[in-house]
Amino acid sequence: MKILPENRLRRLRINPTIRSLVRETSYNLSDLIYPMFVDENISKPREIASMPGVIAYPLNMIADESASVKDLGINAILLFGIPSHKDDHGSGAWSENGIVQKATRSIKEISDMTVIADLCLCEYTTHGHCGVLDNEIVDNDSTIDLYAKTAVSQAEAGADMVAPSGMMDGQVEKMREALDSSGYINTPIMAYSAKYASAFYGPFREAAESTPSFGDRRTHQMDPANLREAFREMEADLREGADILMVKPAMPYLDVIREARMRYDVPIAAYQVSGEYAMLVAAAQNGWLDRKKAVLESLTSIKRAGADMIITYFAKEVAEGLNDL
């Protein structure tokens, strides 16, 4: 007597409609955050060579471009600034006339785009490190005082949310206190809580002109080998007042995203970083991957792992029609 399979799971894969009905994971444009670069040193758009299709915009174009992104259905951007002036302390980061502050005001004049201001000093320092140096090591406590000033300055300019990425101890608490005491109690903090010292940041550093002039960032960014440490960082950020926890990068750290989702009942963000973008684009350009399918699969995997929101350079591409499965 022939023994039949007890369960025929293929029945639910038989056609696209049924597959769609039983699909367990999906994402919407409202889940995506688009990183944007505004460069004070240029007068026309500049494509970033290591990130084909990603553009840095001059100040006089960033508002219109942001509005066009909003029209596509993307409701939030993560804004990075490249200043014309740098110094040892990164004072352009908290200047009223800093590039992020000017860009934020410009965007808010014509659009209700949600602006999340990235907050670090590496783009603004002459040495490319994330804070004030003491014998070539970032001085934690002096640096977080400057982060606090920057958070208030960004909020004053109209930023809807601030996103500290420097991985300094106590940075969230210092910023929360400064924001609250300045009247910005409703400005959320998206903390780069589990930010690993990753090889996948290379193209971004070209884009933001923030490569360290010496050494690296391993004294403050996390060791890629560590998982338990990520949750110590997240718990510290939550105690200090973080509203959203971020894992960066995303695809190499899906286990971290998943475990964070299981542990914490707060929004989890994942940053699909420049190197993740660049490797998918390069493989597709060489005919080694189907770009559309690979992009959608990568975003689905991040969402399936537990991310509530995904920061991705593919957001605009998805909105323009990549997602028509």
What average pLDDT does the segment 231-242 reach?
97
Residue 204 confidence (pLDDT): 66
Q: Give the integer Cα–Cα distance in Å for 138 and 135.
A: 8
Q: Check pLDDT > 70 for residue 7.
A: yes
Q: Where are the alpha helices (DSSP H) in 220-290?
A: 228-240, 254-263, 274-285
| Token pair recorded at residue 105 | 């005001």
Beta bridge partners of 194: 247
Binned at pLDDT 50, 70 and 90, residue 24 comes out as confident
- 3-state percent breakdown (helix, strand, coil) of the chain, nearest 5: 45, 20, 40
Residue pair 101/59 in contact (Cβ under 8 Å)? The answer is no
Going along the chain from its start, the domains and CATH numbers come out as: 26-322 (3.20.20.70)
Q: Which residue numbers are catalytic?
A: 195, 248
Q: Which pLDDT tens digit goes with each residue over 163-222?
A: 998 888 899 999 999 999 999 999 999 999 999 999 998 886 665 555 655 545 667 788
Residue pair 120/77 in contact (Cβ under 8 Å)? The answer is no
DSSP 214-237: SS-STTTSBPTT-SHHHHHHHHHH
Count CA atoms closer than 13 A to 6's CA, side-chain side. 0
| Token pair recorded at residue 325 | 């499965």
Helix (H, G, I), strand (E, B) or coil at 298: helix
Binned at pLDDT 50, 70 and 90, residue 5 comes out as confident
The model's pTM is 0.92
What average pLDDT does the segment 253-266 reach?
97
In our burial notation (b when 16+ CB lie closer than 10 A, e otherwise), range 210-248 reads: beeeeeebeebbbeeeeeeebbebbebbbebbbbbbbbb
Q: Which pLDDT tens digit goes with each residue over 124-171?
A: 998 877 877 888 788 889 999 999 999 999 999 999 999 998 888 899
What average pLDDT does the segment 222-226 reach?
94
Percent of the chain with pLDDT over 70: 93
Residue 51 confidence (pLDDT): 92
Residue 214 confidence (pLDDT): 54
Residue 277 confidence (pLDDT): 96
Count CA atoms closer than 13 A to 149's CA, side-chain side. 16
| Token pair recorded at residue 17 | 């409609």
Q: How high is the mean pLDDT of the chain?
A: 91
Q: Which of 87-96, 187-196, 222-231, 256-265 has the lowest mean pLDDT?
A: 87-96
Q: Give the integer Cα–Cα distance in Å for 264 and 260.
A: 6
Percent of the chain with pLDDT over 90: 74
Residue 99 confidence (pLDDT): 97
Q: Where are the alpha helices (DSSP H) in 14-170?
A: 16-21, 59-71, 99-110, 140-157
Q: Give the integer Cα–Cα distance in Å for 21 and 24.
A: 9
Q: Give the integer Cα–Cα distance in Å for 158 and 57.
A: 19
| Token pair recorded at residue 212 | 């360290």
Binned at pLDDT 50, 70 and 90, residue 325 comes out as very low
